[in-house]
Chain A
Amino acid sequence: GQSLEQPSEVTAVEGAIVQINCTYQTSGFYGLSWYQQHDGGAPTFLSYNALDGLEETGRFSSFLSRSDSYGYLLLQELQMKDSASYFCAVRDRSGGFKTIFGAGTRLFVKA
Chain B
Amino acid sequence: DADVTQTPRNRITKTGKRIMLECSQTKGHDRMYWYRQDPGLGLQLIYYSFDVKDINKGEISDGYSVSRQAQAKFSLSLESAIPNQTALYFCATSDPRNTGGADNEQFFGPGTRLTVL
Q: Which of A33, A43, A97 contacts B108 (CB 8 A)?
A: A43
* Nearest residue, chain B, Cβ from A87: B42
Residue A102 interfacial (CB < 8 Å)? yes
Give every chain B residue within 8 A of A7 (Cβ-Cβ): none
Chain B interface category by residue count: 20 to 34
Bound together, the chains give a CA A87 to CA B105 distance in angstroms of 13
Q: Is the CB of A31 within 8 A of B102?
A: yes
Q: Which of A44, A45, A98 contacts B45 (CB 8 A)?
A: A98
Per-residue CB proximity of B99-114 to A under 8 Å, as 1/0?
A: 1001111111111000
Give every chain A residue within 8 A of B40 (Cβ-Cβ): 8, 103-104
Q: Is the CB of B110 within 8 A of A42?
A: yes
Residue total for A at the interface (Cβ-Cβ under 8 A): 25
Residue B86 interfacial (CB < 8 Å)? no
Q: Is the CB of B42 within 8 A of A33?
A: no
B53 vs chain A, min Cβ distance (A): 14
Q: Is the CB of A91 within 8 A of B102?
A: yes
Per-residue CB proximity of B8-21 to A under 8 Å, as 1/0?
A: 00000000000000
B2 vs chain A, min Cβ distance (A): 15
Per-residue CB proximity of A16-43 to B under 8 Å, as 1/0?
A: 0000000000000011010100000111
Q: Is the CB of A91 within 8 A of B108?
A: no
Give every chain B residue within 8 A of A89 (Cβ-Cβ): 43
Q: Is the CB of A103 within 8 A of B56?
A: no
Q: Is the CB of A30 within 8 A of B50?
A: no
* Nearest residue, chain A, Cβ from B103: A97
Q: Which of A48, A96, A104 contacts B99 (CB 8 A)?
A: A48
Q: List 16 A-B contacts (CB under 8 A).
A: A30-B102, A41-B110, A42-B90, A42-B111, A43-B90, A43-B106, A45-B106, A48-B102, A50-B102, A91-B103, A97-B103, A99-B45, A100-B45, A102-B42, A103-B42, A104-B40
Q: What are the 7 tightest A-B residue pairs by CB atom distance, in nearest-first order?
A: A42-B108, A48-B104, A101-B43, A103-B42, A45-B105, A101-B42, A104-B42
Binding site for A on B (CB under 8 A): 33, 35, 40-45, 48, 50, 56, 58-59, 90, 99, 102-111
